[in-house]
Amino acid sequence: MKIAIPVDQKSLETNVCVSFGRAPYFLIYDTTTKESVFLDNGAAASTGGAGIKAAQAIVDSSADALLTPRCGENAANVLKVAGIKIYKTIGDSTGHNIDAFVAGKLPLLDEIHAGFHGHGGN
């Protein structure tokens, strides 16, 4: 199973990024092969709609689940249509969250915030 996590740096020791849409990188981790790939998040510098673009990238990476501290409404919609489950991370550590996910200890993210939206694209 492949999971995606927004992260601050390109390393397994990095922290989970507090923002999904504007995270600098995504870690795509395969729980079976234990392989990890880092994707640059092209949406990080978007003035608007960052969550949508980031979610599209997660979908295209064919991840099955997203582990994140929070997620906007628009991004959540993209992921929902794609059938990707969203789990809420606990604490900052990327490694701990992967372990917790594998152990089935991460809760589903139910509080979806209303999003930052495309405001002020100008």
Partner 1 sequence: MKQLLILSGKGGTGKTTIASALIRLSNAKAYADCDVDAPNLHLIAGRNSAPVNKDYYGLPKAEINPERCIQCDACRQNCRFAAVLVENGYTVDPFACEGCGVCEFVCPVGAVSLNPAVAGKRMLYRDEETVFSTAQLKMGSGNSGLLVTEVKKQMTAAAPPDTKLAIIDGSPGIGCPVIASLSGVDLVLMVAEPSVSGISDMERIVKTAAKFGTKAVVCVNKYDTNPENTKEIETFCKEQGLPFVGKVPFDESVVKAVNSGRAITDINCKSGEVVKAIYHRIMKLLFDEGGE
Partner 2 sequence: MRIAVLSGKGGTGKTLVSVNLAAVAEKATYIDCDVEEPNGHLFFKPEDIREETVSIQIPIANETLCNGCRQCVDFCKFNALAYIRNKLIVFEDVCHSCGGCVLLCPQKALGEKERGIGKVQKGRSGNVDVHTGILNTGEASGVPIIKKLLDDNKDAPSAVTIIDCPPGSACVVMESIQDADYCVLVAEPTLFGVHNLNMVYELVRLFQKPFGVVLNKCLEGENPAEKLCLKKNIQILGRIPFDHALGMLNSNAKIAVRENKTYQTIFAKLLDTVAKEVYHETAPHS
d(CA 100, CA 79): 21
d(CA 27, CA 22): 14
Q: Does 113 bind partner 2 (CB under 8 A)?
A: no
Query: Could you say which residues in the range 72-111 bind partner 2, by CB under 8 A?
Result: 74, 77-78, 81-83
Q: Does 122 bind partner 1 (CB under 8 A)?
A: yes
Q: Which is nearer to partner 1, 45 or 103 (CB)?
A: 45
Adjacent-strand bridge partners of 15 = 93
DSSP single-letter state for residue 45: T
Where does this chain bind partner 1 (CB under 8 A)?
A: 18-19, 22, 45-48, 50, 70, 111, 113-122
